[in-house]
Amino acid sequence: MRAASFIVATAVVLSSGVAQATIQTTPWVHLNFYSTGWTDATIRVNSREAFFNPENCSSPDGYIVSPSLPGNTNFASALLTAYTTGDQVQLVIDGCYNSRPNIIGVYIRKP
The one-letter amino acid code at 82 reads A
Residue 16 included in any domain:
no
pLDDT value of position 3 = 46
* Higher per-residue confidence, 63 vs 17: 63
Tell me the per-residue pLDDT of 42-82, one tens digit each, with 9 for 90 and over.
Answer: 999 999 999 999 999 999 999 999 999 998 899 999 999 99
Q: What is the CATH number of the domain that holds 104?
A: 2.40.50.50
User: In terms of residue numbers, what domain contains 77?
Assistant: 21-109
Sheet strands (E) in 1-111: 24-25, 29-36, 43-47, 63-65, 88-97, 100-109
Domain count, the chain: 1
Residue 35 included in any domain:
yes
Residue 33 included in any domain:
yes
* Higher per-residue confidence, 7 vs 97: 97
End-to-end CA distance of the chain: 56
| Lowest-pLDDT choice from 9-18, 33-42, 68-77, 85-94 | 9-18
Asked whether residue 102 carries a pLDDT value surpassing 50, the answer given is yes
Phi/psi for 51 (5° steps) reads: -70, 130
pLDDT value of position 40 = 87
Asked whether residue 1 carries a pLDDT value surpassing 70, the answer given is no
Residue 1 included in any domain:
no
Asked whether residue 8 carries a pLDDT value surpassing 70, the answer given is no
Residue 7 included in any domain:
no
SS3 90: strand
